Structure 1
Amino acid sequence: MPLLQFDTTLSLSDDDKTTFAERITELYTAEMATTSGHVAVVVREHESAALHLGRAVDGPLLFLDAEIRRGRSFERKRSFALATMEYAADAFDVPTENMKVVFTEHPGEAMMGMDRVGDTWTDE
């Protein structure tokens, strides 16, 4: 039951945000071996002065805070992070130096919806 929160200085239309969220969901389900019904994506736009990254070059910034269930391998997380950053670079011209991904892992039981509580993730 991941919560994928993006903070960015991009200015995106409603259609762009929808396309972005749908593509990120596809990448997450493919790279993390799960289904899409429980993937939540948040896109928050900020003025350029509101975000800072020491290594940044001229261009938009994009940060992902990925709140995920504990248990995914480093390889799965790295693959998703790279796929996400490659997509943002290609689709929205975000310089690679201007992106950052941070994973926070939670036990399955800490991730809840009205109809379910997460369980332990296994790579089967």
Structure 2
Amino acid sequence: MPLLQFDTTRSLSADERTALADRVTALYAEEMATTTGHVAVTIRERASSAMHLGREVEGPLLFLDAEIRRGRPFERKRAFALATMEYAGEALGIPDPNMKVVFTEHEGEAMMGVDRVGGEWNGSE
């Protein structure tokens, strides 16, 4: 039951926000070996003065805080992060040095909806 939270200094149109959410949801399902129905995405636009990165170059910033269930191997997380940054670079014009992905892992039961409490990831989903 991931929560994928984007912060960016780039102004996005409604279509760009929808495309980002749709693409990242699909990438998450593909790279993390799960389904899409429980993936939540938020996109927050920030003023340039509200975000900083020591290595940034000219251009917008994009950070992803990926709140996920624990248990997935590093290779899956890295593949998802790289695919997401590749998409953001191509579709939104975010320079590579201006992107960052951070994973925070939770026990399955710490992630819940009204009709569901997450379990531990076992790789067979």
Q: Give the TM-score taking structure 1 as reference length.
A: 0.99
RMSD: 0.5
Using the alignment, how far apart are the partners of 1:34 and 1:27 within structure 2?
10
What displacement does 1:107 show? 0.3
Helix, strand or coil at the partner of 2:52: coil
In the other structure, the counterpart of 1:11 is: 11
Q: Give the TM-score taking structure 2 as reference length.
A: 0.98
In the other structure, the counterpart of 1:80 is: 80
Using the alignment, how far apart are the partners of 1:84 and 1:98 within structure 2?
13
In the other structure, the counterpart of 1:63 is: 63
After superposition, the C-alpha distances for 1:19-58 in whole angstroms (9 at most, x for unaligned) are: 1100000000000000000000000000111100000000
**Runs (4+) off by over 2 Å:** none
In the other structure, the counterpart of 2:91 is: 91
After superposition, the C-alpha distances for 1:3-30 in whole angstroms (9 at most, x for unaligned) are: 0000000100111101110000000000
Instruction: State the AA in 2 paired with 1:122.
Output: N
Give ranges in structure 2 of 5+ residues lacking alignment: none
What displacement does 1:123 show? 1.1
In the other structure, the counterpart of 2:45 is: 45
In the other structure, the counterpart of 2:29 is: 29
Using the alignment, how far apart are the partners of 1:69 and 1:50 within structure 2?
29
**Identical amino acids, percent of aligned pairs:** 71
Give ranges in structure 1 of 5+ residues lacking alignment: none
Using the alignment, how far apart are the partners of 1:46 and 1:34 within structure 2?
31
